[in-house]
Amino acid sequence: MNTDNNKKIIDAFRQLDWPNIRFDNNSIIINKNRKKLPILTIGSKEIELNFYWYDARSREYNLRNDIISIKIPISISPWDFLNVQEREYKLPLIYLIKNILNLEKTSNINKIKFIKSKRNLDINLKNKTLTISVDKYLKILKEARVIYKRVKRHKSAYERYLTNLAIEKFSSRVIERRTLISPGDINFTIQRLNLPIKKKISDFNRFVNKADINATEGLATAFIKYGMFSGSFLKKLNDYFIKENLQDIIQLGKEILALGSPRMDTDVAKGVIFRVNGNRKRVGQLETLWQSYFRKYLLYLIFSYKGIFPKIQLTNIEGDKKYPDFIGINHYNGVDIIEIKTHLKNALVHDKNHDNFAFSSELSKAIIQTMNYMDAVIHTNFRKSEDREKITNSSHEENLNRPRGIIIISSYAKLVSRCKIEDKEKLIRDFTKLRNSVQNIEILTFDEILDIAHDYIQNIINKKEVL
């Protein structure tokens, strides 16, 4: 028997300064109405503790409702189990421990017997006793303490957060933002939100609002920027975009490409317009539809841009149209002037007298127009100073002196209005020669743009297969 340990136990209970208790070497007893109620009994093999609480008003002792008594092997220090505080002694966090052990339905258990055994758990319902190994219990108690501290800290942090919002709402004071969460806190929200039972967007909309989405997007952007996500997860994002989004974008482009008429009031055209714009908004021209499509997806179809700016107004431009469809800033900070026509416009005309091909009037006009836009950019002839700043902030100002033009027009089926089948090879050859002859302007057809994106998908998938 550990005499020093016994003395520590007795002395701890003496400090509670409870009335009507008696101490000796091996026990603590309450004197109540000529009855002796044992609080603590130290035997040869185990220590038994009975749990009471003292009502100062009635000056009476009463048994606790949660746990009445415990038995601990004599070789184990009871301080691993007890939480002795001023005027009370109790098992710490017993409500959490019972929850962890899933004892809600057996809450009538009021005794715990600790054993030094390899057995982890044995619930004896008949005797209202939980028999549990010391090691198992201490592990559960450690976990319960973590839960208690984290819940308390989270409650305090969330209360502080809401209070700060109220302060800013009802006063002019701006509260400095602080990170009041600990590792693992975010996991709680994500795990509860991202349950497998959620199968569609409406399942999520019940639990998130626009502020939640904006905050999540901002956090994900920061995680990507600072390398918080694993490489494997970023590959998953990339694969998802390539396999899902980009394929859908290409398919939508092919649907526009399949429109054989510039009319936008047909049922087929209206269906494509809805898929591009997401609404029933009327589109009057095929060129406008292509511009809407590229406004949404040009960054993904041509993979060299870090920014796209539509309809930047320029000055000293001849003609009615004073702006290019887009100004793109590539990843080398170069400036591209992008002009969009339609896939139904012929890029070439056939010269029967010389049996060769030349640029169509539509493409010639587009080339001159693009050159004028490039010249205006070189001379920084922006109508609005904020537009000039927007472009120069995304690029380097010296790059404005060397802009490049990109014209997207026609398709291989519409390169020329009339062409014999045996002239196709010459047609493609002359088209390549002609567009290569124009300095600083790249001429692409709509189907080439879609083919570039499709080849990108194939190359990525093939690389993955090799890996």
pLDDT digits over 275-307, tens only?
A: 998 876 788 899 999 999 999 888 888 877 888
Radius of gyration of the chain (CA): 39
Element of type H or E holding 60: strand 60-63
DSSP class per residue in 373-398: HHHHHHTT-BSSHHHHHHHHHHS-GG
Asked if residue 25 has pLDDT above 50, the reply is yes
The model scores a pTM over 0.75: no
The pLDDT, as a whole number, for residue 327 is: 94
Centroid of chain to Cα 129: 47
pLDDT band at 268 (very low <50, low <70, confident <90, very high): very high
Asked if residue 354 has pLDDT above 50, the reply is yes
The pLDDT, as a whole number, for residue 438 is: 95
3-state secondary structure of 111: strand
Distances (CA, A) of 31 to 34, 61, 68, 406: 6, 10, 18, 98
Burial 261-300 (b: 16+ CB within 10 A, else e): eeebeeeebeebbeebeeeeeebeebbebbbbbbbbbbeb
Task: Give percent of the chain above pLDDT 70.
Answer: 92
The pLDDT, as a whole number, for residue 466 is: 35
pLDDT digits over 195-212, tens only?
A: 888 888 888 888 889 988
The pLDDT, as a whole number, for residue 260 is: 92
**Length of the chain as a residue count:** 467
The pLDDT, as a whole number, for residue 122 is: 67
pLDDT band at 94 (very low <50, low <70, confident <90, very high): confident
Tokens of 37: 């109620």
Measured distance CA(368)–CA(317) in Å, rounded:
11
The pLDDT, as a whole number, for residue 191 is: 85
Tokens of 118: 């390899």
